[in-house]
Amino acid sequence: MTLPLEESGGRHHLPRRAAKPFKKGTKMLIDRIRADQLVARKARDSVAAALLTTLIGEATTVTEEEFEKARAAVETDAARVDDGAGSVGPVTVSVPTTDEKVTATIVKFLKNARANRDLMLASDAKTLPKVEREIELLSAYLPQQMTEDELRAAIDQFRRENPGAGVGTVMAFLKASHAGLYDGRLASQLAKA
């Protein structure tokens, strides 16, 4: 497929089009980030393009544990189709990038950006706008975070249903049922209270 090019002042470029809106549930978060990265690159927005490129690289990196798990699943499937000759040939291992993994990566980046902002407030105000912009960009990809009251209510309800639950049990519950929707530091403080 050949993309249409427009000529403008001796330069060829792709026609400008607005990014297609993503309908919730139709595309994975990584696809939305890739599309936004392309838009940022075309707009020559170096801060957004660099941040999103790094984010994509980190989010799509396959850990050793993920690779071994996927390989074991593929080898199990290959053993079932073995024709008896003892060899199935080369095996391709594919590890999908889930929204949960991408969200966890965004949370990690956001935490680092906020820590950088706090350090810069004390020293270098020149790069502070860049860090503030990164925080704004990253926050746009996260679901709405639980308020302190909502988090407290979820913890209180869990404790009513599970009397004697320790901090670790409460945190495990939050991670399982509200992953990516709360501030871990605040949740830990509330779970200890």
Instruction: Give which of 78, 58, 81 is closest to 70, Cα–Cα.
Output: 78
Higher pLDDT pick, 121 / 3: 121
Q: Where are the alpha helices (DSSP H) in the chain?
A: 29-42, 46-59, 64-80, 99-122, 128-139, 148-161, 167-178, 184-192
CA distance 126 to 108: 24
41-55, 74-88, 94-108, 137-151, range with the lowest pLDDT: 74-88
Does residue 127 have a pLDDT over 90? no
183-193 in b/e form (b: 16+ CB < 10 A) is: beeebeebbee
**Can you state the angle between helices 46-59 and 99-122, rounded to 10 degrees?**
130
CA distance 88 to 55: 36
Identify the burial level of 58 via C-beta atoms within 10 angstroms of its C-beta, where 0-12 means exposed, 13-18 middle and 19 or more buried. Answer: middle
Contact assessment for residue 180 and residue 100, using Cβ atoms and an 8 Å cutoff: yes
Mean pLDDT of all residues belonging to the chain: 78
1-10, 18-27, 120-129, range with the lowest pLDDT: 1-10
What's phi and psi for 98, nearest 5 deg? -90, 160
CA distance 14 to 8: 10
The residue count for the chain: 193
Domains in the chain: ranges and CATH: 27-77+94-142 (1.10.1510.10), 144-193 (1.10.10)
Q: What is the pLDDT of residues 28-51, one digit of tens each?
A: 889 999 999 999 999 999 999 999
Q: What is the pLDDT of residues 19-31, one digit of tens each?
A: 343 444 557 889 9
CB atoms within 10 A of CB 35: 15
